[in-house]
Amino acid sequence: MPAPEHLIIAPVLVPLLAGALMLFYEDRQRRAKRVISFIAVVTMIVVAHDLLNLARRGGEEGTVVVYLLGNWPPPFAIVLVLDRLAAMMLLLTSVLALGSLIFATARWDRRGQHFHSLFMFLLMGVNGSFLTGDLFNLFVFFEVMLAASYGLALHGSGTLRVRVSLHYIAINLAASLLFLIGVSLIYGVTGTLNMADLAARLPLLAQEDKALLKAAAAILGVAFLVKAAMWPLCFWLPITYMASAPPVAAMFAILSKVGIYVILRLTALFGKGVGETGVGAEILVIGGFATVVFGTVGVLASQGLGRMAGSSVLVSSGTLLAVVGIFGLGGGPHLVAAGLYYLVNSTLAIGALFLMIELVERDEGSFATVFAVTAELYGFSEDAADDDDPLVGPVLPGVFTVLSTCYACVALLIAGLPPLAGFMAKFAILSAVFDPAGLGAGDGPSAIAFALTALLLVSGLAAMIALVRTGIQTFWGFVDEEDRSRAALVELAPVIGLIGITLYMTVQANSVMSYMEATARSLSEPRLYVETVLGANPYVIEEPDAAVPGGDTVPAPEGTTP
């Protein structure tokens, strides 16, 4: 029976094998593809849950598990590393993928070829980015993720979708080039790309090499910040997400979080001041604040849910960038824990909003009449499915009431109003920045704390105004009774499921925050991560004893924790 450590490779292998297998099926064999995709995603959820339990072993400090691909010793090995943070992101990705996949089976997977294979390859790239322990393979998984996202962004065709997808591809190709240049320079200076080995070598680096290292890391940081959608590198995001098919846009809600994850990981490993990396914590704070302002203006100016949801992604990314920057300036683990709680909640809420967009705009009520000109200008009508495109599965009665209730919950979550988890997340962030033991300890609250408080309050108010305005125009306008029931179970179930998870996070906030607190403490003290990766032992098969007939081989444990 394989050791539990071998499960680490499953989040990469399962979508890879499923995506490759479905390439042998014709597009008409859609039912078989749906079954394979569903089995693969459910398997990833089960594996991610088991990996989460595995990472929780070892008490408060947790467990770091290393998987050596090729059985080479670190730092030469290609390593996959599992800790609390990676396990949490894997589970979040798998849950969001299940909701998006179920929604796509209603009609959207029929609007282009190879949807399911591209969806699986996207998951492979995202999961690999969370698990990899070296920068070069982070680049590889980033490229797999982006290559699949290019095809998914174009899924369904349409003039607007093709135009914005070409911009999206060009921007990300440029960012990938910067990524490769930065990685090459870092290897030339340090002789390694293993992140744990880099963390051990940076303090010993010669003074004359530090200037080139900072330049290399700054180039690398620009690539990460494009992925994280920091202002002014974020202009591509709102319209790209708006133009994408709803299940694709919902899945894209996790892509910007991949950039946030990498920045947080490197900030924790290379020093909270980030002085050795060249990507200063001050830049993250200022850029995060600017991104929140830009996203807030976008939310208020949006006259359609697609752009509003895209701008909400910017507000979420800006908030998290500011949290990571404040953490780098000396913020305590409570701030990181609150940021992680906010990350999960905002990702699920925005994903649910993207899934609801086409359902809300499907009717021809007063909303469509008031914003007809704007909808035509931005191409909203291209996102809606054709009326003669049949739904898959039973059509539910009372859909309009259920949909309006889900919309109200999402509005509360994104705006951060009580009693849901969005309010708890923002309250926890504000409590952490004003904690006397955190940033500016002994000197009273800092100007950064007051600035972040103002931005969170203003962005929440702006989101509430915009979402309530759209909700009134949509759900209180006149809508034909026949249009009110045009939604299938497979379309509403993912929305309800994602919102239900946020409700669970609200009710079980204490246990969820306990996990986040333990994760934040491990990030603040990365000693266990570094020692475990560098001390991982290759799998050794001893020669059988020639003097003993039938001598057994004795395997040494792989990736053991010292």
At position 224, the amino acid (one-letter code) is: F
Identify the residue with better confidence: 252 or 473.
252
- C-alpha dist (Å) from residue 435 to 282, 441, 452: 20, 8, 14
Q: According to the model, what pLDDT value does residue 406 have?
A: 87
Q: According to the model, what pLDDT value does residue 369 have?
A: 36
Question: From CA 246, how far away is CA 252, in angstroms rounded?
Answer: 10
545: left (phi over 0), alpha (psi -120 to 50) or beta: beta
Identify the residue with better confidence: 157 or 166.
166
Q: According to the model, what pLDDT value does residue 372 have?
A: 38
> Can you tell me the mean pLDDT for 525-549?
70
Q: According to the model, what pLDDT value does residue 41 have?
A: 94
- Number of separate helices (H) and strands (E) present in the chain: 23, 2
Residue 91 has pLDDT above 90, yes or no: yes
List pLDDT tens digits, range 472-499. Answer: 877 776 455 454 446 677 788 899 999 9
- Cis? peptide before 75, omega within 30° of 0: yes
Q: According to the model, what pLDDT value does residue 33 have?
A: 87
User: Length of the chain, please?
Assistant: 562
Residue 296 has pLDDT above 90, yes or no: yes
Q: According to the model, what pLDDT value does residue 92 have?
A: 94
Token pair listed for 294: 């830009």
CA 23 to chain centre: 26
pTM for the structure as a whole? 0.85
108-117, 280-289, 473-482, 545-554: least confident range: 545-554
Backbone angles phi, psi at 541, to 5 degrees: -110, 115
List pLDDT tens digits, range 170-225. Answer: 998 999 999 999 889 988 888 888 888 888 888 888 888 888 888 888 888 888 89
Identify the residue with better confidence: 445 or 54.
54
List pLDDT tens digits, range 384-418. Answer: 444 445 555 444 446 777 888 888 899 999 988 88
List pLDDT tens digits, range 315-358. Answer: 999 999 999 888 887 778 888 999 999 999 999 999 999 988 87
Q: According to the model, what pLDDT value does residue 445 have?
A: 62
Residue ranges covered by each domain of the chain: 4-384+393-534
**Mean pLDDT score across all residues of the chain:** 81
Residue 277 has pLDDT above 70, yes or no: no
Identify the residue with better confidence: 445 or 449.
449
Q: According to the model, what pLDDT value does residue 553 have?
A: 43
Q: According to the model, what pLDDT value does residue 242 have?
A: 86
Q: According to the model, what pLDDT value does residue 16 have?
A: 94
Share of residues in the chain with pLDDT > 70 (%) = 82
Residue 124 has pLDDT above 90, yes or no: yes
